[in-house]
Chains A and B, each alone.
Chain A
């Protein structure tokens, strides 16, 4: 059976050129970039070159990039790092109800540790209101952390506007751009963000590598201690091959961004058109325009998500929904809860399709038809 991978927002296949680059680098260099000998220096040189590519991709400087083991670590470093570095200045943090768990659970932990956290609501398209940010902002707010593009429904937040709003406020502004990176051009200067998280494995790079942008002068207390790496902001020997591969993935991503956005837009339209032609009852979750191009979250009334997921998997379609909770069963998505409320039927019948490298329009047509077939069978 032809398996069609429609879960690129969860993780993405590594691009063949990236694999080649990573394997080559492992063959060629093995030194520790902190070592003083020539073998160490070779590694340092390539690491720095890669870091430059990463920095440029968001309009940052090399020194502003802290390499991490991925998006979750970058988010955690931004949140805990800011909270503990600035706790003498204030005790209040603003975030939203639709953050990735890497942000949400970090904020909940800070709440337990005595910080005060405001979780901003969203409208039914999943958008935060700038007015709500204004209202929540206090003199003792030390951090505002908001997701750039939501990973479940794809809605984009008005990060630039909020960045402008916060320009003259003491709070550090962090955005989790893991899902948007590579699909939306990001410039940290334009956005007026102080901290920004990114991950490699969402853009066809290897897993286990990501970075946090830390604007020069932004206070941050390290969360890992040991060596002097990353200018003492993140101890641990750098993952050189993964960083080199990550930089390669970034290069490819930048070269193809226009094409990708166009293709995924077409995928979305095709999928929707086929479902309509098949006379399937469905509803889109998220925002029609203000959204990431590769995420399509659809609610199928009168179906059940647990049945849908398994049936689609048995048809060879890899899709997802919400987040797997303990013991593999599906927890209602906190994002959909924030959009529709606790009781909404969308919580029980929504599926996320997410597009990426390697998919063809034929795959999308097949996927849409198979989805229609399954939904027709399951509708009660």
Chain B
């Protein structure tokens, strides 16, 4: 579809964050002759007591880059939608003892929904972002493909996008290595060429995660115990810990380091154990909810493919069995370490991202690991 229209008559709204990736995305589209509009999305009010907010600095960078490229720029505020759709979910999941992935939800509900609708209301044919992912049209369908830079591939976060959403999306830097993206930005003299990549969850930024979460959820300290029930110390609140985590446990003494193995919500206990490869961390099956697929073509009820259970993990060979109400049972021959409920399970057929869901329960040899949620 993208080839059909003349770029000059094709309006593309680029979601600009003030980072180098979206800057280069806008720059490349403009060079290809598209009718490009840069829009900055403000999803979170992080104004501090001095009235300073990082969004202002980021927007200033968007302004600079858009003026360099020669495209109009605007801003749009989705703070309310973000709060309702993403942040509320984020807190609910933590309350339920899980580790949510707000970026997946943000892409599904904000960037490629509310923002896409906004772009369309401005007469845009496409919405472009600086994600490391690719879309390709095959047999009348838009496929979501991994970004060329394997180290940067972001399809994990885009797994919930529907065919309808994907058909209106462009990823102008998905076929590039990150290094090249920076080079293009430098060569073009873009103001963001050497700007540091943002890290962490967008609304927390580089702040202390514990401190941030404690502003919204009451923390209930409790005991840290081994799988045999031996008390090893105190924890600050179960929500602060993730399965497989090593740092921040504060269990001193000699011997192997300690890891989070699971949580007992009823007793408010954090289960810990020594050894990075502790057997309690391993599982061979999981159930997923909210399964969503990038294609509209019907899938077999049972099929094989590869999967990722966390961002940047190596693909694992899996067998998928679709269950009613958008569920799935996903099994893998080789046990996998530290599968975490709340995170996304994302399915691939080669380079095609098929879709994914949210990890709900984790099993080993047919038995549910109740301690991981």
A interface residue numbers (CB < 8 A to B): 304, 306-307, 309-311, 313-314, 326-330, 378
Which of B45-104 touch A at CB < 8 Å?
47, 53, 55-56, 58-59, 63, 72-77
23 contacts between A and B (CB under 8 A): A306-B76, A309-B74, A310-B37, A311-B123, A313-B72, A313-B74, A314-B37, A314-B72, A314-B123, A326-B47, A326-B53, A326-B55, A326-B59, A327-B40, A327-B53, A327-B55, A327-B59, A328-B42, A328-B73, A328-B74, A329-B75, A330-B77, A378-B121
Bound complex: CA A267 to CA B370 (Å):
72
With a 10 A CB-CB cut-off, give which of B40, B73, B75 has the most chain A CB atoms. Answer: B75
Q: Which single residue of chain A is at the shortest CB-CB distance from B63? A: A328
With a 10 A CB-CB cut-off, give which of A307, A309, A326 has the most chain B CB atoms. Answer: A326
Are B75 and A328 in contact, CB atoms less than 8 angstroms apart? Answer: yes
CB neighbours (8 Å) of B121 from chain A are 304, 307, 311, 378
Are B58 and A310 in contact, CB atoms less than 8 angstroms apart? Answer: no
Are B122 and A327 in contact, CB atoms less than 8 angstroms apart? Answer: no
B118 at interface by CB-CB < 8 Å = yes
Bound complex: CA A204 to CA B292 (Å):
58
Bound complex: CA A304 to CA B81 (Å):
14
Shortest beta-carbon distance, B114 to chain A, in Å? 11
**Number of residue pairs A-B, CB distance < 8 angstroms:** 49
With a 10 A CB-CB cut-off, give which of A306, A314, A329 has the most chain B CB atoms. Answer: A329
Bound complex: CA A314 to CA B123 (Å):
10
Are A328 and B122 in contact, CB atoms less than 8 angstroms apart? Answer: no
Which of B115-155 touch A at CB < 8 Å?
118, 121-123
CB neighbours (8 Å) of A307 from chain B are 118, 121-122
Shortest beta-carbon distance, B284 to chain A, in Å? 47
Bound complex: CA A311 to CA B77 (Å):
16
Shortest beta-carbon distance, A370 to chain B, in Å? 13
Bound complex: CA A330 to CA B74 (Å):
10
Find A329's partner among B58, B72, B76, B123 (CB 8 Å cutoff).
B76
Which of B19-45 touch A at CB < 8 Å?
37, 40, 42
Are A327 and B123 in contact, CB atoms less than 8 angstroms apart? Answer: no
CB neighbours (8 Å) of B73 from chain A are 328
CB neighbours (8 Å) of A314 from chain B are 37, 72, 122-123
Shortest beta-carbon distance, A324 to chain B, in Å? 8
Are B122 and A329 in contact, CB atoms less than 8 angstroms apart? Answer: no
Find B74's partner among A304, A310, A326 (CB 8 Å cutoff).
A310
Given known A-B contacts A311-B123, A314-B123, A326 and B56 have beta carbons under 8 A apart: yes
Q: Which single residue of chain A is at the shortest CB-CB distance from B60? A: A327
Shortest beta-carbon distance, A170 to chain B, in Å? 34
Supply 16 further A-B pairs (C-beta < 8 A) apart from A327-B53, A328-B63. Answer: A306-B74, A306-B75, A306-B76, A309-B74, A310-B74, A313-B74, A314-B122, A326-B47, A327-B40, A327-B55, A327-B58, A328-B59, A328-B73, A329-B42, A329-B75, A329-B77
CB neighbours (8 Å) of A326 from chain B are 47, 53, 55-56, 59
CB neighbours (8 Å) of B42 from chain A are 327-329
CB neighbours (8 Å) of A327 from chain B are 40, 42, 53, 55-56, 58-59, 75
Bound complex: CA A309 to CA B74 (Å):
9
Bound complex: CA A314 to CA B119 (Å):
13
Are A306 and B123 in contact, CB atoms less than 8 angstroms apart? Answer: no
Are B118 and A328 in contact, CB atoms less than 8 angstroms apart? Answer: no
CB neighbours (8 Å) of A378 from chain B are 121
CB neighbours (8 Å) of B53 from chain A are 326-327
Shortest beta-carbon distance, A320 to chain B, in Å? 13
CB neighbours (8 Å) of A310 from chain B are 37, 74, 122
Bound complex: CA A328 to CA B66 (Å):
14
Question: Which 6 pairs from chain A and chain B are nearest by CB?
Answer: A328-B75, A329-B77, A327-B55, A327-B59, A329-B75, A307-B121
CB neighbours (8 Å) of B72 from chain A are 313-314
Bound complex: CA A311 to CA B37 (Å):
11
Find B40's partner among A304, A313, A328 (CB 8 Å cutoff).
A328
Are A306 and B55 in contact, CB atoms less than 8 angstroms apart? Answer: no
Shortest beta-carbon distance, B301 to chain A, in Å? 39
CB neighbours (8 Å) of A328 from chain B are 40, 42, 59, 63, 73-75
Shortest beta-carbon distance, A329 to chain B, in Å? 4
Bound complex: CA A329 to CA B78 (Å):
9
CB neighbours (8 Å) of B77 from chain A are 306, 329-330
Shortest beta-carbon distance, B126 to chain A, in Å? 16
Which of B227-280 touch A at CB < 8 Å?
none
CB neighbours (8 Å) of A311 from chain B are 121-123
Bound complex: CA A232 to CA B186 (Å):
52
Shortest beta-carbon distance, A353 to chain B, in Å? 19
Are B118 and A306 in contact, CB atoms less than 8 angstroms apart? Answer: yes
Shortest beta-carbon distance, A188 to chain B, in Å? 35
Shortest beta-carbon distance, B54 to chain A, in Å? 9
Shortest beta-carbon distance, B266 to chain A, in Å? 42
CB neighbours (8 Å) of B58 from chain A are 327
Shortest beta-carbon distance, B81 to chain A, in Å? 12
Shortest beta-carbon distance, A245 to chain B, in Å? 28
CB neighbours (8 Å) of B122 from chain A are 307, 310-311, 314
CB neighbours (8 Å) of B63 from chain A are 328
